[in-house]
Amino acid sequence: MGFCVAVFASGGGSNFQALVDHAIEYSVELLVTNRPNVGALQRAERLEIPAQVIVPASYKNEELYSKAVIQLLEQQRIDLIALAGYLSKISAQLIHDFSGPILNIHPSLLPRFGGKGLYGKHVHQAVIDAKETTSGATVHIVDEEYDTGPIILQESIPVLGNDTPDSLALRVLNIEHQLYPKVINLFAQKRVKLTGRHATILPSLHDH
């Protein structure tokens, strides 16, 4: 049995698509969304990947919500959850109940430009307003706060003088599409070692 990944998305799902397209050591076996009629759902249908709409607010409490999600994850034998533009907070209960890693991708160089309210275009606007000369993408472990979990890998790009939030978002998104599958391939190969908050990438066996 290979390494199975569930992607949680609330939007267009371009990262979901990239995770499917660049899967080498893992396979994407499930899409979960909190919103009906999103682009990610259409992509799942086209890709013939099972998809489920789960609206957290429709459950009486966090425990029941977490139970429903865990049951679904177990059915598909999911080893890792990848949040990709998932705009709903993952409850502490679910973090506690799921035995594998939960990752997120954020379109800035965390810890800069993260936290509540800093999502989508707001991130890139803040980067431009702060006159930053570099930005990028970060893959990190999800903890109970927004964007504060241990950083696994980052990739940076220059911010150009004439960048708008849209142009910067587009270039960062291109980076995300490379970075996220790369990190999940590393997890599938058991090459990510976490010591406290510090992640080390272990060399590939083929490097010897």
Q: Which residues bind ligand GRF (CB under 6 A)?
A: 9, 11-15, 84-85, 105-107, 173, 176
**How far is the C-alpha of 82 from the C-alpha of 188, rounded, in Å?**
12
DSSP-based three-state secondary structure for 85? coil
**Smaller CB separation from ligand GRF, 35 or 67:** 35
Q: Which of 22, 96, 106, 177 is catalytic?
A: 106
**Smaller CB separation from ligand GRF, 26 or 113:** 113
**How far is the C-alpha of 208 from the C-alpha of 183, rounded, in Å?**
21
Q: How far is the CB of 10 from ligand GRF (least distance, A)?
A: 7
**Smaller CB separation from ligand GRF, 23 or 70:** 23
**How far is the C-alpha of 135 from the C-alpha of 168, rounded, in Å?**
9
E strands in the chain: 3-8, 26-33, 51-53, 80-83, 102-106, 134-141, 151-158, 192-195, 198-201
Q: Which of 195, 190, 184, 183 is nearest to 205 (CA)?
A: 190
Q: How far is the CB of 123 from ligand GRF (least distance, A)?
A: 8
**Does the annotation count 106 as an active-site position?**
yes
Q: How far is the CB of 177 from ligand GRF (least distance, A)?
A: 8
- Residues serving a catalytic function are 106
